[in-house]
Amino acid sequence: MGLVTCDVTVSSDGFCAGPNQSMTTPLGEGGEKLHRWQFENTEENSDEIAAITEASAFIMGMNMFTPPEHASSADWSGWWGENPPYHAPVFVLSHHPRSTIRLVGGTSFQFVTQGIHEALSEAREAAGDNPVAIAGGASTIVQFLSEGLIDELRLHIAPIHLGQGEAITVEKIESHMDRYSRRETSLATHVYYRKRR
């Protein structure tokens, strides 16, 4: 069975998305600035970028898949267009049963209404011996953390201040995990955690 991993980028004040998520601001107001490290100066962050794509299955919350106004829409197929970046099965935590969506590049969105343990069981079956990644958002990550289900978490701290939005704090992570490494680059500080034994 592969590791359960999580990569999450937060602002210096602990927010992984800005306020007021909408069709024009999928990461909330100011949230897109969090991810500059993935698209600029990529050479100095290449190890962290590569690690994100190692998973063979992903789990995300409904708010990461869709804005609230499309939560029950059968027509919505995600923010990413016809070829999402996952290229693997994605299990979406949902209150609304839906048929699986299959898109270009091997990405499928499968909707799980029985909670995080069922989603993890299905994702592990799909991934085999390869990693399963908890993709977000904040409330989904906190649920998995609180249940002790994440083996390795990579926290990417961007040097911006959002002030409000979806939060995940270092204190919350460190109540369940032990820090084992830290690396600074020009656009982010990368802090690595393992599940406390």
pLDDT digits (tens, 9 = 90+) for 157-193: 999 999 999 899 899 899 999 999 999 999 999 999 9
Bridge partners of 195, per DSSP, are 177
Centroid of chain to Cα 31: 14
Confidence of residue 64 (pLDDT cuts 50, 70, 90): very high
Asked whether the predicted pLDDT for residue 117 surpasses 80, the reply is yes
Q: What is the DSSP letter of 15?
A: E
**Residue 86 pLDDT > 70:** yes
Distance, in Å, from the CA atom of 22 to the CA atom of 67, rounded to the nearest integer, reads 6
Q: Which of 67, 77, 51 has its CA nearest to residue 17?
A: 67
DSSP one-letter code for 3: P
**Residue 100 pLDDT level (bands cut at 50, 70, 90):** very high
Stretch 34-56: mean pLDDT: 90
At residue 37, the pLDDT reads: 94
* Predicted local distance difference test score (pLDDT) of residue 76: 80
Residue 169's φ and ψ, nearest 5 degrees, are -100, 155
Q: Which amino acid is present at 14?
A: G
Residue 72 has a pLDDT of 67
**Per-residue pLDDT at 101:** 94
Size of the chain, expressed as the number of residues it contains: 197
Please name the residues in contact with 171: beta carbons below 8 A apart, sequence gap of 6 or more.
none
Residue 53 is classified by DSSP as: T
Reported in sequence order, the residue ranges of 75-186 that DSSP labels E, i.e. its strands, are 89-93, 101-102, 108-112, 132-136, 152-158, 166-167, 177-184
**DSSP at 99:** -
Phi, psi at 83, each rounded to 5°: -130, 75
Percentage of the chain beyond pLDDT 70 is 98
pLDDT exceeds cutoff 80 at 71: no
When the pLDDT of each residue in the chain is averaged and rounded to a whole number, the result is 92
Name the architecture of domain 4-15+32-67+85-195: 3-Layer(aba) Sandwich (3.40)
- The per-residue pLDDT for 25 is 87
The pLDDT, as a whole number, for residue 26 is: 86
Reduced to 3 states, what is the DSSP secondary structure of residue 65?
helix
Q: Give tens-digit pLDDT for 118-161.
A: 999 999 999 999 999 999 999 999 999 999 999 999 999 999 99
Percentage of the chain beyond pLDDT 90 is: 72
Q: Which pLDDT score, from 0 to 100, does residue 1 have?
A: 81
Q: Are 115 and 93 in contact (CB under 8 A)?
A: yes
Q: In whole angstroms, what is the distance from residue 56 CA to residue 172 CA?
A: 26
pTM of structure: 0.94
